[in-house]
Amino acid sequence: GENVEQHPSTLSVQEGDSAVIKCTYSDSASNYFPWYKQELGKRPQLIIDIRSNVGEKKDQRIAVTLNKTAKHFSLHITETQPEDSAVYFCAASKGFQKLVFGTGTRLLVSP
């Protein structure tokens, strides 16, 4: 089955810096790659997603890139703000099938 690895497990940046989180997946049939932001005790919130027919997607300060050949995808956050501090999960799925999550990255943005 699908296996998703996520790095780093923790990431500390200064406000205004960029943050990059990377994930790799094992199943070449996976075609949907969402990123979730989760604050303590709250639900995962979708922040951006990408499908396998697209190499890059951007939404304001957040972007995701996908390399199907290498089977990895990355989350890029620019101009980080303290409120970006949270745990970020990548995930992979084949369309409507179950999400397989990465192990999470705790992002800390210091003022």
> How many angstroms separate the CA atoms of 28 and 52, rounded?
10
When asked if residue 32 is in the footprint of other proteins (CB under 8 A), the reply is yes
Task: Phi first, then psi: give them for residue 83, nearest 5 degrees.
Answer: -70, -5
Q: How far is the CB of 111 from other proteins (least distance, A)?
A: 25
Distance CA 77, CA 60 (A): 9
Round to whole Å and give the CA distance between 26 and 3.
5
CB of 38 to other proteins, least distance (A): 9
In the stretch 50-89, what mask flags binding to other proteins with x, by CB under 8 A? ---------------------------------------x
Do residues 35 and 89 make contact, with C-beta atoms less than 8 angstroms apart?
A: yes
Considering only residues 43, 60, 70, 111, which one is a binding residue for other proteins as defined by CB under 8 A?
Answer: 43
Q: Decide whether 42 or 60 has the Cβ nearer to other proteins.
A: 42
Alpha carbon distances (Å) from 6 to 15, 16, 111: 23, 23, 25
Residue closer to other proteins by CB (options 69, 96) is 96
Interface residues with other proteins (CB under 8 A)? 32, 34, 41-46, 49, 89, 95-104
